[in-house]
Amino acid sequence: MIITIDKTAGFCPGVHRAIHKAEKELEQDNELFSYGSLLHNELEMQRLQNDGLRLAEKDDILLLNNKKLLIRAHGEPPETYMLAEKHGVELIDATCPVVTRLQQKVRRAAEEMKKVNGQILIFGKQNHPEVIGLAGNAMDLATIISSTEELHTLDLSRPVRLFSQTTMDKDHYNAFALSLGEEIKKYQSEPDFISYDSICDHVTKRVPALKRFAANADVIIFVSGNESSNGKKLFAICLEVNPKTYFISGPNELRTAWFEHVRSVGISGAASTPLWLMENVADKIKEMN
Ligand code: SF4
C-alpha cells in the first residue's frame, strides 16, 4: 500500500510562525499566555500547554502584569495593545504579516472614509478573531457582513470600501462584491466603491491542490480538530472529489475496514493540523496493514 502525506496540508505560514514564536518563548521561560487557542487542533494545543502555554480570556489581561501574552496569527484590535501597555503586560506579537498589512490597509481606508462619511464593509464571520481585529482598525466605521441578504440593512448611498477576512472563499467573495457593486449603482450615480480582495493566497491555492491530491488516492484520511471550520470545509471538498474520504482527529479513530483492498492512501489535513500528527496517522495505518 502506498501512503502519501499531502505536502500542501498543515500549518499555513502565519500559524507556523506563531507556533514557532510560542516554542521559542517557552524554551526560555516556562510560562506564556495566549488569548484563546493558537490553532484549532486539540492535540497540538495540548503539546504546547504541556510546555507551559496558558490560555487567557480577554479580561485576564488586567491580571497579567509582568507576564508575557502572545498575540495569535489572527491579530488583535488596537485596544488590546493599549490595554496590555496600561497593565504592564509584555506582548509577543505573532500576528501573521499578511493580517498586519490588511489591518493597516483597513485603517488607511477608514481614515479616508471618515472624511467623506463613508463606511468599511468586512466580508467575514461575526465574532471571528481576525474580523474583530480588522474591525477594531476601522475607527467605528466597520460593518461585518457575510451575505447579499444582509445588504438591505446598509445605507448604500454612502461611499464603501470592501475588504474580506483572509480565509473566506474567493468565489463567494467575488460574487458578493459583484452584487454589492450592482446594488450601490441604485443609490449612487457615480459609485464611490472599491473592493479589495484581501483573501490570503495560501488559502486560495489550497483548494485546487487539495482536489488534485484527493483525486489521486483510493482512500483519503483527513486529519483535523473537530472545532476547525477550515478543517470542516476542506474535508467537505475532499469528500466531494473522493467519496472514500474519512475524517479523524487522531490515529485512534482509524478503522481497519477502510483499508481493505486499498492500494493507495492519501493523508491530508486542515491549516491547523501539525505534520507530526499526520505522520503518526501514516505510521498507524502501516501497523494496521
Ligand atoms: S493570512 Fe494566510 S498565512 Fe496568515 S494566518 Fe491567515 S491563512 Fe495563515
For residues 185 and 212, state if they share a domain: no
Cell 474580506 belongs to residue: 164
For residues 118 and 165, state if they share a domain: yes
The pLDDT of residue 59: 84
| Residue with CA closest to ligand 1 atom 5 | 14
| Residue with CA closest to ligand 1 atom 4 | 14
| Residue with CA closest to ligand 1 atom 2 | 200
Whole-model pTM?
A: 0.88
End-of-domain residue from the set 138, 162, 195? 195
Average pLDDT over residues 81-92: 95
For residues 32 and 58, state if they share a domain: yes
Q: How far is CA 109 from CA 178, 205, 206, in A?
A: 20, 27, 29
Range of the domain at 263: 2-9+202-288
Instruction: Tell me which residue of 127, 70, 74 sits closest to 103, measured CA to CA.
Output: 74
- How sure is the predictor about 82, in pLDDT bands with cuts at 50, 70 and 90? very high
- How sure is the predictor about 35, in pLDDT bands with cuts at 50, 70 and 90? confident
Q: Which of 5-9, 21-25, 202-206 has the lowest mean pLDDT?
A: 202-206
Gap from CA of 88 to ligand 1 centroid (Å): 29
- How sure is the predictor about 42, in pLDDT bands with cuts at 50, 70 and 90? confident
Gap from CA of 37 to ligand 1 centroid (Å): 15
End-of-domain residue from the set 195, 228, 249? 195
End-of-domain residue from the set 54, 75, 95? 95
Strands 142-145 and 90-93: unpaired
Count up the domains in the chain and report the number.
3
- How sure is the predictor about 285, in pLDDT bands with cuts at 50, 70 and 90? very high
The pLDDT of residue 289: 79
Average pLDDT over residues 182-211: 95
For residues 102 and 186, state if they share a domain: yes
CATH of the domain at 64: 3.40.50.11270
The pLDDT of residue 227: 80
User: Counting atoms of ligand 1 from 1, which one is nearest the CA of 167?
Assistant: 7
User: Which grid coordinates are listed for 251?
Assistant: 490515529
- How sure is the predictor about 40, in pLDDT bands with cuts at 50, 70 and 90? confident
112-155, pLDDT tens digit by residue?
Answer: 999 999 999 999 999 999 999 999 999 999 999 999 999 999 99
Catalytic annotation present for 130:
yes
Q: Using the 8-state DSSP alphabet, how is residue 24 labeled?
A: H
User: Which grid coordinates are listed for 205?
Assistant: 491555492
Instruction: Tell me which residue of 76, 55, 79, 77 sits closest to 67, measured CA to CA.
Output: 55
Is pLDDT larger for residue 145 or for residue 57?
145
The H or E element containing residue 120 is strand 119-123
